[in-house]
């Protein structure tokens, strides 16, 4: 039973530099396997709509006749189901996260 | 003596999730506690009628943020049992590793909240600093810090390669050393011990009859741990339940601290014994029949009852989470304690109200 | 992992005696759950001992679902029985701690029971529809 355990801990961490990141001055540490923003390669897309069917939240919209692909950024949960399902591999999850938004925008490509 | 009714919650700085407890007090001593739920009720049990059973893994994972992986895993186990799917060995070992990582992060979170409930803010920050290391490890292996997105019916969605496993082992060694530092404070510090010892004693027979589960039950001396059922890789990596006999808040804290090191041991054993096989098997068709899957979440035994009738939507999906089972114990423990101890007692059963209310 | 799970159909009158038997044999109460199946409601009482899982099943008509409370034997069942009443409209008689419908606060009373489904559907019908993203609006492509 002692108070020394906490004293030792406090002194040790008082002498080190702070654990918290000075964000945004210090950039975010990127972990390569992180699931972030969905990126779309329009050149490879054939508008088969498999990604729209697989998306659990209904964030993706595909218009075959007009050749348009759209995503509701705030509905996307970065699960990666569409990435696995796409036969042409034109979808990928990047490591950076989406920017904060004040309106529910739809990105149309 | 005049009685006052003081509402504890639904919003309270010490509660991780909203629960309303009307405390009837007589001059700072609690006489009765009346709980009320429903503040985070999302009706997830009804969502099975809209989402088909394959998509529902996502919903099951999002029942709770702290215990999310094991929710997904239990759901997958229940459906796999209905459809008689044999999960490949590597997937079972990976699920075990992620389940134990989930337990580490949950117990570290709880230790921080416990310290916060009796005012030890710096210890709270230290616990969560160690937890950050676990979260980084989870992000490196699954891509997400809190919601793993790794389970699917038939196996797991992503693999951890040899480099990843090496990194995992290195980090667990550092984790163990850092956890020893804070656990020593929790268990040996004079002020912490004085605050926790003798508070909220739950005798062994009462704990069993009240239907308690998890560390709350094990701290009262009952060696009950759903991992003994042998799901995932626990058939090959047997787990001995950690028990204490005192049944007070200090015992519940000690059980969870010891479970931290037990989880690190299980992760090491799972990495050492990792078999080489595929990570998922394809699943076709629809489930039918009924089954109850039980696993051990950080808070105790979770029960998933699924009933299917051959269509792609389940007929019934029922989750009985451990906090719901520990609620009657809370209602029994609170009368007789001081008002200042209420926050502490509520936290010793490890409340996860978003699980309870689905 | 297939553990032994048994389902025992039972009539409501035999419930209390059977539960008392199980308590004397040292079974632990795991959960009480209700399953609404249209005209019927199934109420499951689950018990566990040494890894074995036993379920008692009562099948009742949804409109007049009434069960006796098992709180004289397992006091902790009051939480499950209050929940069954608040969500599924299964009337439980003689609960030791009865919150009289105030345990679960929901906008629609008895949301999972038979009449609750109709009330919830009515609430949804009058609510403003949210546009489901199916086709992107015609506009300049990025």
Task: Tell me whether A33 touches chain B (CB under 8 Å).
Answer: yes
Which domains are seen in chain B, by residue range? Answer: 42-329 (1.10.645.10)
**Mean pLDDT, rounded, for C68-87:** 86
Task: Tell me whether B68 touches chain A (CB under 8 Å).
Answer: no
- Contact by Cβ (8 Å): C48, C1: no
Domain count, chain C: 1
Look at residue B41 in the predicted model and tell me its pLDDT.
Answer: 83
| CA–CA separation, C102 and B35 (whole Å) | 9
Q: Does residue C52 carry a pLDDT above 50? A: yes
| CA–CA separation, B225 and A99 (whole Å) | 43
A31 vs B123, B140, B149: nearest CB: B140
Task: Tell me whether B52 touches chain A (CB under 8 Å).
Answer: no
- Contact by Cβ (8 Å): B177, B301: no
Task: Tell me whether B167 touches chain A (CB under 8 Å).
Answer: no
- Contact by Cβ (8 Å): B161, B276: no
Residue C61: domain span: 5-111
Look at residue C122 in the predicted model and tell me its pLDDT.
Answer: 59
Q: Is residue C61 part of a domain?
A: yes
**Mean pLDDT, rounded, for B325-342:** 88
C35 vs B39, B307, B327: nearest CB: B307
Q: Which residues of B are less than 8 Å from A77 in CB distance? A: 58, 147
Task: Tell me whether C131 touches chain A (CB under 8 Å).
Answer: no
Q: Is residue C84 part of a domain?
A: yes
Q: Which of C88, C118, C86, C122 has the alpha carbon at shortest distance from C103?
A: C86
| pLDDT bracket for residue C137 (50, 70, 90) | very low
**Mean pLDDT, rounded, for B338-343:** 87
| CA–CA separation, A95 and C40 (whole Å) | 50
Q: Does residue B264 carry a pLDDT above 80? A: yes
Q: Does residue B284 carry a pLDDT above 60? A: yes
Residues whose CB is less than 8 angstroms from the CB of residue B1 and which lie 6 or more positions away in sequence, other chains included: B26, B27
Q: Is residue C105 part of a domain?
A: yes
Provide the percentage of residues in chain A whose pLDDT is more than 90: 0
Tokens at B13, concatenated: 């700085």
Q: Is residue C137 part of a domain?
A: no
Look at residue C134 in the predicted model and tell me its pLDDT.
Answer: 44
Tokens at B318, concatenated: 């029922």
| pLDDT bracket for residue C1 (50, 70, 90) | very low
Which DSSP category does B338 fall into?
B
C135 vs A59, A61, A72: nearest CB: A61
Q: Which one is predicted more confidently, B102 or C90?
A: B102
| CA–CA separation, C110 and C119 (whole Å) | 9
Q: Which residues of B are less than 8 Å from A79 in CB distance? A: 58, 149
Q: Which one is predicted more confidently, A29 or A60?
A: A60
Tell me the DSSP string of B75-137.
HHHHHHHHTT----HHHHHHHHHHHHHHHHHHHHHHHHHHHHHTT-HHHHHHHHHHHHHHHHH
- Contact by Cβ (8 Å): B326, C29: no
Give the number of other CB atoms < 10 A from CB of residue B226. 25
A31 vs B58, B139, B147: nearest CB: B139
Mean pLDDT, chain B, integer? 88
Look at residue B256 in the predicted model and tell me its pLDDT.
Answer: 92
| pLDDT bracket for residue B265 (50, 70, 90) | very high
Look at residue C7 in the predicted model and tell me its pLDDT.
Answer: 84
| CA–CA separation, B219 and B299 (whole Å) | 12
**Mean pLDDT, rounded, for B323-336:** 88
Q: Does residue B43 carry a pLDDT above 90? A: no
Q: Which residues of B are less than 8 Å from C79 in CB distance? A: 324, 327-328
Place of tokens 């114990």: B329
Q: Which residues of A are less than 8 Å from B123 in CB distance? A: 6
Strand partners, B295: B302
Reduced to 3 states (helix: H, G, I; strand: E, B; else coil), residue B182 is helix
| CA–CA separation, B179 and B173 (whole Å) | 10
Look at residue B154 in the predicted model and tell me its pLDDT.
Answer: 87
**Mean pLDDT, rounded, for B84-91:** 89
Strand duo C91-93 + C66-68: pairing: parallel
Q: Does residue B235 carry a pLDDT above 80? A: yes
B292 vs C5, C28, C80: nearest CB: C5
**Mean pLDDT, rounded, for B163-176:** 90
- Phi, psi values for residue B275, rounded to 5°: -80, 160
Task: Tell me whether B182 touches chain A (CB under 8 Å).
Answer: yes
Q: Which residues of C are less than 8 Å from A69 in CB distance? A: 136
Interface test with B, best of A6, A8, A21, A32 (most B CBs within 10 A): A6
CATH number of the domain within which C85 lies: 3.30.460.80
Residues whose CB is less than 8 angstroms from the CB of residue A102 and which lie 6 or more positions away in sequence, other chains included: none
Q: Do C139 and A108 touch (CB under 8 A)?
A: yes
Reduced to 3 states (helix: H, G, I; strand: E, B; else coil), residue B354 is helix
Q: Do A33 and B141 touch (CB under 8 A)?
A: yes
Q: Does residue A67 carry a pLDDT above 90? A: no
- Phi, psi values for residue B179, rounded to 5°: -70, -35
Look at residue A3 in the predicted model and tell me its pLDDT.
Answer: 58
Q: Which residues of B are less than 8 Å from C99 in CB distance? A: 34, 36
**Mean pLDDT, rounded, for B279-290:** 86
Q: Does residue C93 carry a pLDDT above 90? A: no
Q: Do B34 and C75 touch (CB under 8 A)?
A: no
Q: Does residue B108 carry a pLDDT above 90? A: yes
**Mean pLDDT, rounded, for B87-103:** 91
Distance from CA of C141 to the nearest CA of A (A): 5
Q: Convert the pLDDT of each residue in B290-322 to its tens digit.
A: 888 889 999 988 999 888 888 888 888 888 889
Tokens at A80, concatenated: 């990666």
Look at residue B262 in the predicted model and tell me its pLDDT.
Answer: 92
Tell me the DSSP string of B165-179.
HHHHHHHHHHHHHHH
State which CATH number among 3.40.50.720, 3.30.930.10, 3.65.10.10, 3.30.70.3270 fits the domain covering A30-108: 3.30.70.3270
Domain residues of chain A, as ranges? 30-108
Q: Convert the pLDDT of each residue in B121-149 to its tens digit.
A: 888 999 999 999 999 889 888 888 888 88
Q: Does residue C5 carry a pLDDT above 70? A: yes
B149 vs A5, A31, A79: nearest CB: A79
Q: Do B81 and C29 touch (CB under 8 A)?
A: no
Q: Convert the pLDDT of each residue in C115-136 to its tens digit.
A: 555 555 555 555 555 444 444 4
Q: Convert the pLDDT of each residue in B176-203 to its tens digit.
A: 998 998 898 888 888 888 888 888 888 8
Look at residue B145 in the predicted model and tell me its pLDDT.
Answer: 86
C141 vs A75, A106, A108: nearest CB: A108
Strand duo C52-61 + C5-9: pairing: parallel
Q: Does residue C3 carry a pLDDT above 70? A: no
Tell me the DSSP string of C44-55.
EEEEEETTEEEE
User: What number of helices (H) and strands (E) belong to chain B?
Assistant: 12, 8
Query: For A67, which residue in chain C has the nearest alpha carbon?
Result: C141
Q: Which of B205, B226, B220, B228 has the alpha carbon at shortest distance from B255?
A: B220
Query: For A1, which residue in chain B has the nearest alpha carbon?
Result: B188
Least confident window among B320-324, C26-30, C65-69, C78-82: C65-69
Q: Is the dihedral of CA B262, A13, B190, B131 positive or negative?
A: negative
Look at residue A95 in the predicted model and tell me its pLDDT.
Answer: 85
Angle at B343 between CA B116 and CA B4, to 5 degrees: 145
Look at residue C125 in the predicted model and tell me its pLDDT.
Answer: 58
Look at residue C115 in the predicted model and tell me its pLDDT.
Answer: 53
């Amino acid at each position: 039973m002692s108070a020394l355990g906490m004293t030792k801990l406090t002194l040790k961490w008082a002498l080190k530099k702070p654990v918290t990141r000075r964000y945004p001055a210090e950039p975010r540490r990127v972990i390569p396997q992180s699931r972030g923003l969905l990126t779309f390669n329009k050149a490879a897309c054939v508008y088969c709509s498999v990604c729209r069917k697989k998306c659990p939240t209904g964030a993706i919209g595909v218009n075959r006749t007009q050749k348009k692909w759209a995503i509701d950024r705030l509905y996307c949960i970065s699960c990666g189901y569409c990435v696995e399902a796409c036969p042409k591999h034109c979808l990928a999850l990047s490591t950076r996260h989406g920017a904060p938004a004040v309106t529910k925008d739809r990105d149309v490509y | 003596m005049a009685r006052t009714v003081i509402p504890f919650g639904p919003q309270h700085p010490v509660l991780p999730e909203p629960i309303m407890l009307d405390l009837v007090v007589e001059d700072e001593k609690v006489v009765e506690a009346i709980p009320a739920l429903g503040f985070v009720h999302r009706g997830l049990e009804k969502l099975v009628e809209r989402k088909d059973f394959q998509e529902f893994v996502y919903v099951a994972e999002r029942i709770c943020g702290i215990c999310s992986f094991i929710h997904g895993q239990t759901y997958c186990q229940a459906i796999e049992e209905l459809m008689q799917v044999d999960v490949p060995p590597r997937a079972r070992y990976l699920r075990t590793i992620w389940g134990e990582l989930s337990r580490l992060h949950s117990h570290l979170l709880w230790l921080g909240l416990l310290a916060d409930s009796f005012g030890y803010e710096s210890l709270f920050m230290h616990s969560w600093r160690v937890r950050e290391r676990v979260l980084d490890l989870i992000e490196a292996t699954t891509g997400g810090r809190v919601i793993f997105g790794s389970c699917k019916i038939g196996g797991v969605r992503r693999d951890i390669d040899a480099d990843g496993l090496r990194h995992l082992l290195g980090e667990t060694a550092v984790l163990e050393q850092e956890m020893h530092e804070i656990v020593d404070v929790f268990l040996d510090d004079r002020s912490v011990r004085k605050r926790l010892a003798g508070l909220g004693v739950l005798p062994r027979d009462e704990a069993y009859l009240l239907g308690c589960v998890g560390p709350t039950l094990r701290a009262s001396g009952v060696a009950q741990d759903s991992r003994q059922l042998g799901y995932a890789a626990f058939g090959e990596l047997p787990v001995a339940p950690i028990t204490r006999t005192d049944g007070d808040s200090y015992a519940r804290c000690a059980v969870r601290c010891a479970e931290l090191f037990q989880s690190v041991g299980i992760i090491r054993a799972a990495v050492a014994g990792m078999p080489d096989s595929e990570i998922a098997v394809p699943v076709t068709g629809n489930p039918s029949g009924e089954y109850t899957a039980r696993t051990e979440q950080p808070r105790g035994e979770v029960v998933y009852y699924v009933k299917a009738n051959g269509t792609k939507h389940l007929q019934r999906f029922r989750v009985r989470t451990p906090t719901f089972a520990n609620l009657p114990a809370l209602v029994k423990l609170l009368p007789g304690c001081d008002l200042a101890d209420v926050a502490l007692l509520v936290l010793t059963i490890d409340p996860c109200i978003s699980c309870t209310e689905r | 992992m297939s553990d032994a799970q048994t389902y025992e159909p039972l009539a409501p009158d035999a419930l209390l005696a059977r539960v008392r038997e199980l308590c004397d044999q040292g079974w632990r109460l795991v959960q009480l759950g209700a399953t609404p199946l249209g005209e019927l409601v199934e109420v499951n009482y689950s018990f566990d001992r040494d890894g074995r899982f036993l379920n008692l099943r009562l099948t009742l008509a949804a409109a007049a679902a009434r069960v006796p409370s098992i709180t004289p034997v397992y006091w902790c069942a009051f939480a499950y029985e209050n929940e069954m009443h608040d969500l599924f409209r299964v009337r439980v008689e003689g609960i030791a701690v009865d919150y009289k419908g105030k345990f679960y606060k929901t906008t629609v009373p008895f949301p999972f029971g038979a009449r609750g489904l109709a009330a919830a559907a009515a609430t949804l019908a009058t609510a403003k529809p949210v546009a489901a993203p199916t086709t992107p609006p015609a506009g300049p492509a990025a």
